[in-house]
Amino acid sequence: MNRTTPETGHRTLRRLLSGAALLLAGLVLSLNALLAQDPVGREVVQLTVADAIGPATRDYIVRGIEEAEDTNAELVVLKLDTPGGLDASMRDIISKILNAEVPVATWIAPDGARAASAGTYILLASPVAAMAPATHLGAATPVPIGGAAPTAPAPAAEPEAEPATDEPMSEDTAASGDEAAEAEPPAAPADASSSKAINDAVAYIRGLAERHGRNADWAERAVREAVTLTAPEALEQNVIDLIAENIDDLLAAIDGREVKLHDRSVTLATEGLAVREIEPDWRTSLLAIITNPTLAYILLLVGVYGLLLEGYNPGALVPGIIGGISLLLALYAFQILPVNYAGLALMALGLALIAAELFVPSFGILGIGGLVAVVFGSVILFDEDVPGFAVNEGVIAGLAVSGAVLFGMIVWMIQRALQRPRMGGRASLIDHTAEAIADFTDGRGRVHLQGEDWFAHAEADIRRGQRVRITGIQDEGFVLDVVPLNDDER
């Protein structure tokens, strides 16, 4: 029978008290951590984009807004400087901004920055639209991949603008302005496809501008006429909300402003808040590298040539492994980049001709034709009208020069090889000298040649040990035709 002694009871009590103390300490630490997270969201998250809008910037912005939502930040400031970019990536970014739980302020900065094309859409979609001095926005006409931009004919020259006044526009003046606008509407694009793209972009950008009470008419002109505005002009025409020289000015200016989110309106309390900048992580950096058009182009060539070398030298492994990985990365990049498929087809044809040159010698004709096709395909592979997505011309020129030198060397080596005497077969034995093993009888005997004994036939008398020169070989019996060497040949 077990009995509990007073000493045992005290020991048990001490253990319980120690456990309770540890539990209480853990609760205190957890509470401190929760307080440190600041559930009210007393911080501003800054994202910085100074590049074309593409898959990498889309990933960075979307993940940054999601992180701000997780930490319950007060505001996300998107510091933007972009020439434009891809429509799909732009729409993903705008969709995230419109449906975010945290308000987003897009700020075109620093001085000299721009929000062209896709940047204009992103700016108008944001609850707060701001610009730094000496920045501009606009030129939002969509550019189709693989073709010319669907632009309308230039409108007639506008009358000289009236001086701006502080007085509001009268109804009569506004009416006359509307009538003038209706009298000279922008000309429609020439074909149905361009008209469809223009009208879709107009409806999209007008919806973004109207959502936040901005100038939807100017937004439409930015699409149809590719017009642009400086920061003061944008503020005057109600395209943006404010001009801010730095982020502190921006936070002070929007403090107390009511902005509209997807499901509610919130009042910003931003003055004096700490700003935490989110840097691109390894995933975003890797995506930016892979989707760089020049690198994707190089990966394609490395992949194809690696597989060709592996096929030409089976078992080498290294070219095949490197080529396979490079080709898969290139195909992934091409899937999300603005690829012109005519250029890709030309490159495929050129690479096929180069591969054929390795297996069907054509004295360089197939190789040179393939090189020309690859170069022309490279030039038009990515549409240069899409800002930030073009192959570096120096890389294409380097490829053309190195390929021309390579195939020139191949042709030169082929010519040298054709001029050399044959090193195998019957013809290789002609004019070689041999030694008679025994006296010839009736014009027949044996000679020693290159470590082998051959039957030989001679019209002249041949003695043992005499040097002879081979003049031919008979089709039957592998019999050599020989003649004795004269004194000069010996």
Does the pLDDT value for residue 249 go beyond 80? yes
For residue 182, the model assigns a pLDDT of 43
Distance CA 225, CA 177 (A): 18
Tell which wins on pLDDT, 34 or 218.
218
pTM: 0.61
3-class DSSP assignment, residue 260: strand
Distance CA 273, CA 38 (A): 12
The number of beta carbons lying within 10 Å of the beta carbon of residue 305 is 18
Asked if 455 and 478 touch (Cβ cutoff 8 Å), the reply is yes
For residue 76, the model assigns a pLDDT of 96
Using one digit for the tens of pLDDT, what is the confidence trace for 126-169?
A: 999 999 999 999 999 887 654 444 444 344 334 333 334 333 33
Confidence of residue 361 (pLDDT cuts 50, 70, 90): low
Segment among 16-30, 150-164, 305-319 with least mean pLDDT = 150-164
For residue 35, the model assigns a pLDDT of 46
Distance, C-alpha 307 to centroid of its chain: 22
Q: Which of 44, 128, 118, 124 is nearest to 81 (CA)?
A: 118
For residue 480, the model assigns a pLDDT of 84
Confidence of residue 339 (pLDDT cuts 50, 70, 90): low
Using one digit for the tens of pLDDT, what is the confidence trace for 184-215?
A: 445 445 567 778 889 999 999 999 999 999 99
Segment among 17-21, 124-128, 369-373 with least mean pLDDT = 17-21
Does the pLDDT value for residue 57 go beyond 70? yes
Cβ neighbours of residue 186 closer than 8 Å, sequence gap 6 or more: 152, 155, 221, 224, 225
Identify the H or E element spanning 291: none
Distance CA 361, CA 417 (A): 13
Token pair, residue 36, equals 């440190």
For residue 28, the model assigns a pLDDT of 61
Rounded to an integer, the average pLDDT of 57-66 is 93
How buried is 156 (Cβ within 10 angstroms: 0-12 exposed, 13-18 middle, 19+ buried)?
Answer: exposed
Distance CA 12, CA 17 (A): 9
Using one digit for the tens of pLDDT, what is the confidence trace for 343-356?
A: 778 888 887 887 77
For residue 156, the model assigns a pLDDT of 38
Does the pLDDT value for residue 233 go beyond 90? yes
Distance CA 127, CA 13 (A): 60
For residue 460, the model assigns a pLDDT of 85
Distance CA 290, CA 311 (A): 26
For residue 347, the model assigns a pLDDT of 80
Report the percent of the chain where pLDDT is more than 90.
33
Instruction: Answer whether the bond into residue 110 is a cis peptide, omega within 30°.
Output: yes
Using one digit for the tens of pLDDT, what is the confidence trace for 413-442?
A: 767 766 666 555 666 677 788 888 888 888
For residue 44, the model assigns a pLDDT of 95
Mean pLDDT for all residues in the chain? 78
Segment among 240-244, 305-309, 381-385, 466-470 with least mean pLDDT = 381-385
For residue 418, the model assigns a pLDDT of 66
Tell which wins on pLDDT, 387 or 380.
380
Cβ neighbours of residue 68 closer than 8 Å, sequence gap 6 or more: 45, 76, 100, 102
For residue 386, the model assigns a pLDDT of 57
Beta strands 467-473; 433-436: pairing state: antiparallel
For residue 232, the model assigns a pLDDT of 95
Does the pLDDT value for residue 485 go beyond 80? yes
Confidence of residue 180 (pLDDT cuts 50, 70, 90): very low
Segment among 56-70, 283-297, 369-383 with least mean pLDDT = 369-383
Residue 460 is which amino acid? A
Distance CA 464, CA 468 (A): 11
For residue 320, the model assigns a pLDDT of 83
CA gyration radius, the chain: 40
